[in-house]
Structure 1
Amino acid sequence: MVMMMAPGGTKEMCRMVLDEGADAVYVGVVGWSRRGSEHELTDDEIHEVIDYADRLGKEVRVVVNTLPSSTEVPMFLDRIAMYASWGAKGFMISDVGCMRLVKEMLPDVAIHTSVGCGITNHRDVQFLSDIGATYVVLPYRLSVGEIAEMKAKTGVGIEVFLFKTPSGGKICPGKCMMSSYFSYRRWLDDNGKDHFFGSASRGGDCLRVCQTNWEFEVDDVAFREGMTIKTNPALWLEELPAYLAAGVDCLKVPGRDRSDILVRDIVRFYRRVLGAIAESDAPNLASFRPELETFRQRWVVERGHRDRRLISEAEREAMRAERAAFRKSARPAAVAQ
């Protein structure tokens, strides 16, 4: 039976989605996940969520999908072992070396590959399965046929986002380093863990610079239409039966950085949709469309708020760096003694 896994960007969101029918909730760890700290949980909160899920007979996946440095790997494994001892049933990981280490250390936990692995074909899926992945998450531009082929050729658990995009083509979400080049600042916490501003792969929030307006110049001809590089995805509906028939094992609801209420409502909605699909070989999902449209509108509004905030942060950081560079260049040279 397909598992519906929902986000837990706050402790309250975790409780809501579990109460509304999610089979599992995924939570991020401050400094070890590809989101800003405001959408992550503390260790105490993660412990509470694990206990709450356990009482409901449900599960928690812990998101640790940064790319640890060699000095951070022991800290990474210690945290994994701690969460597992509390009852976490799985982990979302990007780093393939750490994936293998976790599987060797805890062979019974579920390992979900993170979107940072950037899957594009069934050989990628097979490789990740061979090193310990239980579920391999696919980018949301793959077709039903491609998903069916990956499932048939590898047999690994297939996880997909409840997302589609208005345009096709292959992308590698999670492997983008654009934000890191745009703004880079780091600091150590009290435990010796590096934190990075603007680098999702190293534990800081992506600054969403692809969502700002870009101007291009080709052969001295400027294009100033305010083009954005990445388009907004949309939530599924009619496609869902075909994806399930293709062998999808885990449906991943996005939204750790959305409001608790919006994510709760989406989980409640999809639990009803999955119930309708289970009751019929040819379900008519048309009655769900008006409700889905309201979710899409709410999603775009909240995403706009988030993107504007992140872009503003990036602009402030760029100005800070520019001022620092100016002060350095304006500093008088030391007088030779």
Structure 2
Amino acid sequence: MVMMMAPGGTKEMCRLVLDEGADAVYVGVVGWSRRGSEHELTDDEIHEVIDYADSRGKEVRVVVNTLPSSVEVPMLLERISMYAAWGAKGFMISDVGCMRQVKAMLPDVAIHTSVGCGITNYEDVRFLTDIGAAYVVLPYRLTVEEIADIKAKTGAGIEVFLFKTPSGGKICPGKCMMSSYFSFRHWIDDSGKDHFFGSASRGGDCLRVCQSDWQFEVGGTAYEQEMAIKTNPTLWLEELPAYLAAGVDCLKVPGRDRSALLVRDIVRFYRRVLDVIAECDAPDLSRFRPDLESFRQRWIAERGDRDRRLIGEAEREALQADKAAAARSFSSVGFIAAQ
């Protein structure tokens, strides 16, 4: 039976999605997941969420999908052991070395590959399952035919986002480093964890610079208008039965950085849709379209607010870097003149 896994960017969101029909909730650890700290949970909060989920017969997946340094690997494994002892049933991991170690250390937990693994073909999937992954998350630009082919060739547990991109996308999730080129700084917290602002892969947050306006030039001809590099994905509906028939095992609702009420409503919506699909072979899902359009408008509005905030942070960081560079240059010129 397919599992619906929903985001838990806050404790409130975790409770809401579990109450509304999610089979599992995924939560990020402060400094160890591909989100900003405002959408991650502390250890105490994660413990509370695990207890809450367990009391309702639900599960928690803990997101630890940064790429740790050699110094940080023991810290990461220690945290994973702690969460497993509390009752976490699975972990979302990007680093393949840590994935292998976690499988050896905790053979009964479910390892989900993170979008940070940047899967593009069935050989990627085969490699990741060989080192311990129970579920591999596929990028949302893959077609139902590609997913069916991967399932047939590997037999892996297939996880997909409830997302589609109209254009197919220009950027592979997990393999983009654009944000860190525009802004990069780091600090070490009291536990020794190195936090990298501007780098999602190293415990910071992606600044969504792909959502800013860009000018493209092809063969010497520039596009007439500015456009974003990454298109705005939309939620699935009519194609959902075909994806389930292709062998999808886990449906991942996105939105850790959205409002708790929007995510709650989306989970409630998909619980109803999945129940209808389970009732018959050729379900009529047209009645759900008005609700889906409402969610789309709310999603775009909240995404716009988030992107403007993050892009603004990137611009402020770039401005500060320019000022610092100008100050260093002025100081150097003054020193040489004094000589």
Give the equivalent residue in structure 2 for 1:229: 229
Q: Deviations over 1:212-236 (max 9, x none)?
A: 0012345665445111100000000
Cα deviation, residue 168, structure 1: 2.5
Alpha-carbon distance between aligned partners in 2 of 1:334 and 1:107, rounded to the nearest angstrom: 63
Cα deviation, residue 172, structure 1: 2.1
Cα deviation, residue 303, structure 1: 0.3
Q: Which letter does structure 2 place at the counterpart of 1:296? A: R
Q: Which letter does structure 2 place at the counterpart of 1:23? A: D
Q: Deviations over 1:8-45 (max 9, x none)?
A: 00000000000000000000011100000000001100
Query: Do 1:214 and 1:224's aligned partners in 2 also have CA atoms closer than 8 Å?
Result: no
Q: Deviations over 1:95-153 (max 9, x none)?
A: 11110010011000000000111111111110000000000000011111111111111
Query: Do 2:170 and 2:230's aligned partners in 1 also have CA atoms closer than 8 Å?
Result: no
Q: Mark the runs of 5 or more structure 2 residues left unpaired by the alignment.
A: none
1:188 and 2:178 equivalent? no
Alpha-carbon distance between aligned partners in 1 of 2:156 and 2:222, rounded to the nearest angstrom: 47
Mean Cα deviation higher: 11-20 or 219-228: 219-228
Relative to 1, partners in 2 of residues 1:141 and 1:218: Cα closer, same or farther, differing over 3 Å? closer
Alpha-carbon distance between aligned partners in 1 of 2:227 and 2:97, rounded to the nearest angstrom: 38
Alpha-carbon distance between aligned partners in 2 of 1:111 and 1:146, rounded to the nearest angstrom: 22
Query: Do 1:139 and 1:171's aligned partners in 2 also have CA atoms closer than 8 Å?
Result: no
Fraction of identical pairs, as percent? 81
Alpha-carbon distance between aligned partners in 2 of 1:31 and 1:97, rounded to the nearest angstrom: 19
RMSD: 1.5
Query: Do 1:115 and 1:137's aligned partners in 2 also have CA atoms closer than 8 Å?
Result: yes
Secondary structure of the equivalent of 2:125?
helix
Cα deviation, residue 51, structure 1: 0.3
Alpha-carbon distance between aligned partners in 1 of 2:320 and 2:119, rounded to the nearest angstrom: 36
Q: Deviations over 1:29-77 (max 9, x none)?
A: 1110000000000110000000000000100000000100111101010
How many residue pairs end up in the alignment?
337
Q: Which letter does structure 2 place at the counterpart of 1:177? A: M
Give the equivalent residue in structure 2 for 1:153: 153
Q: Which letter does structure 1 place at the counterpart of 2:183? A: S
Mean Cα deviation higher: 250-259 or 325-334: 325-334
Q: Mark the runs of 5 or more structure 1 residues left unpaired by the alignment.
A: none
Cα deviation, residue 270, structure 1: 0.2
Give the equivalent residue in structure 1 for 2:273: 273
Query: Do 1:93 and 1:112's aligned partners in 2 also have CA atoms closer than 8 Å?
Result: yes
Mean Cα deviation higher: 140-149 or 235-244: 140-149
Alpha-carbon distance between aligned partners in 1 of 2:264 and 2:44, rounded to the nearest angstrom: 22
Relative to 1, partners in 2 of residues 1:219 and 1:167: Cα closer, same or farther, differing over 3 Å? closer
Q: Deviations over 1:147-191 (max 9, x none)?
A: 111111111110000000111367520110000111110100011
Alpha-carbon distance between aligned partners in 2 of 1:234 and 1:115, rounded to the nearest angstrom: 17
Q: Which letter does structure 1 place at the counterpart of 2:108? A: D
Alpha-carbon distance between aligned partners in 2 of 1:8 and 1:221, rounded to the nearest angstrom: 45
After superposition, residues 58-69 of structure 1 pair within 5 angstroms as 58-69=58-69
Query: Do 1:72 and 1:193's aligned partners in 2 also have CA atoms closer than 8 Å?
Result: yes
Give the equivalent residue in structure 1 for 2:335: 333
Give the equivalent residue in structure 1 for 2:291: 291
Q: Which letter does structure 2 place at the counterpart of 1:260? A: A
Alpha-carbon distance between aligned partners in 1 of 2:2 and 2:291, rounded to the nearest angstrom: 23
Give the equivalent residue in structure 1 for 2:92: 92
Give the equivalent residue in structure 1 for 2:129: 129
Give the equivalent residue in structure 2 for 1:304: 304
Alpha-carbon distance between aligned partners in 2 of 1:149 and 1:220, rounded to the nearest angstrom: 39
Normalising by structure 2, we get a TM-score of: 0.97
Cα deviation, residue 335, structure 1: 9.2
Alpha-carbon distance between aligned partners in 2 of 1:222 and 1:261, rounded to the nearest angstrom: 42
Secondary structure of the equivalent of 2:133?
coil
Superposed structure 1 runs of 4+ greater than 4 Å apart? 217-222, 334-337
Relative to 1, partners in 2 of residues 1:222 and 1:238: Cα closer, same or farther, differing over 3 Å? closer
Secondary structure of the equivalent of 1:33?
coil
Alpha-carbon distance between aligned partners in 2 of 1:220 and 1:270, rounded to the nearest angstrom: 46
1:263 and 2:263 equivalent? yes
Alpha-carbon distance between aligned partners in 2 of 1:24 and 1:91, rounded to the nearest angstrom: 12
Secondary structure of the equivalent of 1:186?
strand
Cα deviation, residue 319, structure 1: 0.7
Normalising by structure 1, we get a TM-score of: 0.97
After superposition, residues 1-337 of structure 1 pair within 5 angstroms as 1-168=1-168, 171-217=171-217, 221-223=221-223, 225-331=225-331, 332-333=334-335
Q: Deviations over 1:281-333 (max 9, x none)?
A: 11000000011100001000000000000000000101111111111111132
Cα deviation, residue 255, structure 1: 0.2
